[in-house]
Amino acid sequence: MSSHPQTPPKNRPHTRPVARTRRVTAPQITDRKGGEPIVCLTAYDAPTAEIIDPHCDLILVGDSVGMVVHGLPSTVGVTMDMMIMHGQAVMRGSRTAMVVVDLPFGSYEGRPETAFASASRVMMETGCQAVKIESGSYAAETIDYLVERGIPVMSHVGLRPQSMHVLGGFRARGRTQKVADEILQNAEAAAKAGSFAVVVEGVSAEIAERVTKAVDIPTIGIGASQNCDGQILVTPDMLGLFPRVPKFVHKYGQQRDQIDAAVRQYAEDVKARAFPKPENLYVFKD
């Protein structure tokens, strides 16, 4: 028997039932403001997305993929094609969590029309439910433009990795009153412009509390304390894939050690001719 599915007869509809699921939506995330904390993680591939999907309200296909998957020194070198490829993979692996894809550096900071072209391409080619942009003082007009045209936007304030060359590296933000006020103003502008949520990264608990109280949309913290309405981490960081992680990361797993032990055992078995074992072999019967 052929392993390929048979082609349905002509003029006859395909009747195989299609599984339908309902994903979390942008308004549902916004409605969680001040309620049950919102659970978010990053994913860049289908298997990871499938594992974390039942536990997450929102999965972010972050431009952190450039650093944790592709080995780039920062997120600045991430391209649209990279984000779309990884976004497609995450959409294939997930079923119910809202999927948000980062717009990469250089794809949205200019004219709002340019941002719309980038965002609409990402949504059309991945099927994701929203995009995320890093929100400087320029962002309000762009957010309003995108939302007005049907594109949900998650904003990002505080430590903004795409601006690391201006900020002087990956450093916590808000050490001076001026910078703290700027972070608050950016968050307020993003919320007023129509963002459904805002990521707050690398700030003190006091600043996170100020922002959370000031805006009527959920704040999603990463290195920003329990004062936020939800939390997000880079999944490979929290699984312990890397020996060094930011201070705000708690390693919920020791993936690096587990992979090392498994590969070491495999190498030893191959050298000792202990693998493959009899149960791993094909046996053809007459």
Q: For residue 210, give Cα distances in angstroms to 168, 224, 225, 227.
A: 25, 11, 12, 9
Radius of gyration of the chain (CA): 22
Half-sphere exposure of 75 (CA within 13 A, CB side): 23
Asked whether residue 102 is marked as a ligand-binding residue, the answer is: yes
| Structure token pair of residue 13 | 């509809």
The secondary element (H helix, E strand) that includes residue 220 is strand 219-222
Catalytic residue among 201, 206, 209, 279: 201
Where in the chain does DSSP place strands (E)? 38-42, 58-61, 98-102, 130-132, 153-158, 197-201, 219-222, 230-233
By the 10 Å C-beta count (0-12 exposed, 13-18 middle, 19+ buried), 152 is classed as buried
Q: Quick check: is 206 catalytic?
A: no
Which of 64, 130, 59 is closest to 95 using CA atoms?
A: 59
Asked whether residue 63 is marked as a ligand-binding residue, the answer is: yes
Strand, helix or coil for residue 285: coil
| Structure token pair of residue 225 | 């304390």
Asked whether residue 132 is marked as a ligand-binding residue, the answer is: yes
Asked whether residue 53 is marked as a ligand-binding residue, the answer is: no
Q: Which residues does the annotation place in the binding site for 3-methyl-2-oxobutanoate?
A: 63-64, 102, 132
Q: Which residues does the annotation place in the binding site for Mg(2+)?
A: 63, 102, 134
Residues with catalytic function: 201
Q: Which residues does the annotation place in the binding site?
A: 63-64, 102, 132, 134
